[in-house]
């Protein structure tokens, strides 16, 4: 595995001792390979949307392989077991004997059979000696499932703890947890800009934000309120409005983490908005939202 390359190579010298400069070289090479694999994944249409945590785990699970010139690395129709990243060399990809493409360093291949549980869709042959990195199906799918499930449970637990969502049925919460994306903002970042179009809804998972509005007479920004963990904003986007009525600015030295839902996935997965609308209204009644905010909601 790539995360143990440094250690295994560090212990592989004849006297079991590695000079500091050699150690640096080995570490640099491992780092370079990691970066190369990460870029290859981000360059692959089918894998570029994996989150960075998943990519990091995949990179750490990769092991090195060498394939000699003219060897068949992947045979069309086979059950595949490895996803490859090319470090050095050149391969040709053919299907039914027809050349599809050539691939060189920094490319992922063999991902389709593993991602989509199908047989190999093409044959990949080494045109030169190839140095490759590979991850096996079990390891790859384990990462995909574990991180996916962990994330889902974490989001679901968080949603359950958010006052606003307390009354929603478990099934709806689970669907929301499915479509959530995580986003991080640095202190001072504008998460939402007044007047801009937007179709995303945010729940604060960590940190604080300022809600500000431009005074129409003085054009000065006024702070209307502070929101914190468990609070939400941008909800009007889910109800169909897309012009933002206030600024939301990250106001936390450690930055702000948000869970984000866009209107499209929300509508697609949670066809009725009534649940949420109901909760918002009830929530405001019960919580007695501060008057500034209530005014803002009525007058915008």
Residues that bind ligand CMP (CB under 6 A): 74, 80, 93, 100-101, 109-113, 120-122, 124
Shortest spacing between CB 89 and ligand CMP, in angstroms: 15
Q: Which is nearer to ligand CMP, 80 or 198 (CB)?
A: 80
Both tokens assigned to 225: 């309120």
Shortest spacing between CB 65 and ligand CMP, in angstroms: 15
Q: Which is nearer to ligand CMP, 72 or 153 (CB)?
A: 72
Q: What helix, strand, coil percent values describe the chain, rounded to 5?
A: 40, 30, 30
Among 94, 91, 111, 110, which Cα is nearest to 102's?
91
Q: Which is nearer to ligand CMP, 115 or 279 (CB)?
A: 115
Shortest spacing between CB 117 and ligand CMP, in angstroms: 10
Shortest spacing between CB 54 and ligand CMP, in angstroms: 18
Angle, vertex CA 49, rays to CA 95 and CA 57, nearest 5: 95
Both tokens assigned to 286: 């019960």
Both tokens assigned to 227: 């929101």
Q: Which is nearer to ligand CMP, 7 or 81 (CB)?
A: 81
210 close to 268: Cβ distance less than 8 angstroms: no
Shortest spacing between CB 289 and ligand CMP, in angstroms: 53
Q: Is the dihedral of CA 166, 170, 176, 178 positive or negative?
A: positive
Among 81, 83, 88, 25, which Cα is nearest to 59's?
83
Task: Specify the pairing of strand 82-88 against strand 123-126.
Answer: unpaired
Q: Which is nearer to ligand CMP, 74 or 205 (CB)?
A: 74
Task: Specify the pairing of strand 181-185 against strand 91-95.
Answer: unpaired
Shortest spacing between CB 146 and ligand CMP, in angstroms: 22
Q: Which is nearer to ligand CMP, 112 or 267 (CB)?
A: 112
């Amino acid at each position: 595995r790539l995360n143990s390359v440094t250690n295994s190579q560090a212990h592989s010298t004849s006297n079991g001792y590695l000079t500091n400069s050699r150690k640096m070289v080995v570490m640099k090479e491992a780092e370079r390979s990691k970066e190369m694999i990460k870029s290859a994944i981000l360059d692959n249409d089918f894998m570029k949307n994996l989150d960075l945590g998943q990519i990091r785990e995949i990179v750490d699970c990769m092991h090195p392989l060498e394939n000699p010139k003219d060897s068949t690395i992947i045979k069309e129709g086979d059950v595949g077991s490895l996803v490859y990243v090319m470090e050095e060399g050149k391969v040709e990809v053919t299907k039914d004997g027809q050349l599809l493409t050539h691939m060189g360093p920094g490319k992922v291949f063999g991902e389709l059979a593993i991602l989509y549980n199908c047989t190999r869709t093409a044959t990949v042959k080494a045109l030169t000696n190839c140095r490759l990195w590979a991850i096996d199906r079990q390891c790859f799918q384990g990462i995909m499932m574990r991180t996916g499930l962990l994330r889902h449970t974490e989001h679901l637990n968080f949603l359950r703890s958010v006052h606003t969502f307390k009354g929603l049925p478990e099934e709806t919460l689970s669907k929301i947890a499915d479509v959530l994306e995580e986003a991080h903002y640095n202190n001072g970042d504008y998460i939402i800009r007044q007047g801009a179009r937007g179709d995303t809804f945010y729940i604060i998972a960590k940190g604080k934000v300022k809600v500000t509005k431009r005074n129409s007479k003085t054009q000065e920004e006024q702070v209307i309120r502070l929101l914190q963990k468990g609070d939400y904003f941008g909800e009007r986007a889910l109800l169909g409005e897309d012009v933002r009525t206030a600024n939301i600015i990250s106001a936390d030295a450690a930055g702000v983490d948000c869970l984000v839902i866009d209107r499209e996935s929300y509508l697609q997965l949670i066809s009725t908005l009534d649940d949420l609308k109901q909760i918002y209204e009830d929530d405001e009644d019960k919580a007695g939202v501060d008057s500034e905010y209530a005014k803002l909601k009525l007058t915008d």
